Amino acid sequence: MSILLTIIQIVLLVFIYKKREETESNLGWKIVGYFWLGAFAFKVNEIPLPLGFLLFLLIFRPMTNVKTKKRSAYLGLAFFLILHLILPAVERDLFERPRDVVAASNNMFQINFTNDWMTIRDQLKIDEQARLVYFKADYQKNGQIDRLYYYVVSVSEKDSVYYDINFSADTNRYSIRAEKTGVEGLEYVEFVEASRFFEVLDEVQVRNLSLEQPFVGYTLRFDGERIKDADEYQQKYMILGKEIKTITRNQLPAEGYPINLCGKGKSYELPTGSGVSNRCEANADFFFD
């Protein structure tokens, strides 16, 4: 794109030079100077301002080849708009456009999370050390997914990228939207790597993350951060590879990355008439390292 714009710039400057009103020494260099004056940008809080063109309007008063020099300055302004406003907006829209990736399954008990994540990661060229910020899945007792979505953030020292990943059970596809946040992603280094989380789910198998009694549906939620939890009133387990071991009271506080499992009963109408809900009737945390 930069090569194409450079060629267009040269062609237009030559055209302006040929349309000069009169002969003038060093006019070619002057045309180039007026062009760069019109294109010069000054940033205030990362907002580009056409300072060069403003100086041209306020200070510069060409006495010869007036139209030629004005055309060159206005051409510079046009390139300012293209480079600092139009192109960034187009690039942002192209970067943030939703992209779809086919899923392996629409069942929590059958899906291979690692394979799906690696497919998403490779197709969108996501950083291998990307952190999982949030994960939530609502599914029925047979594993059928009602809703699944999660958020991933790259950990680059430059602008980090936030990925919003939504699974559709109807199309059996993930819809991914990327957004540059404009801040360093290093603040997320304490969060677990997405690849590690999905590795744990695949190894232990979601069907084995269960509560003391069966429920109509379940919500599996993960907040990404490592914690210490001494709450003795909620059941806790430790995931060790394919094994799940109970954490007793005398082993508290539990430490690690907790996956919360919520068991839900039958749906019921909210008393306000604002919709249908099925609240959590039991909870348990499954910790892993």
Q: Which two tokens stand for residue 207?
A: 């069907």
**pLDDT single digits (tens) 275-286:** 445 677 889 999
The torsion defined by the Cα of 245, 249, 251 and 252, in degrees rounded to 10, comes to: 110
Query: What mean pLDDT value characterizes the chain?
Result: 86
* Res. 181: pLDDT tops 60: yes
Q: Please list, in sequence order, all residues whose beta carbon lies within 8 angstroms of the beta carbon of residue 5, skipping any fewer than 6 positions away.
A: 79, 82, 83
Rounded to two decimals, the pTM is 0.71
Of 144, 141, 154, which Cα lies nearest the Cα of 191? 154
Across residues 178-202, what is the average pLDDT?
A: 82
Of 116, 118, 113, which Cα lies nearest the Cα of 130? 118
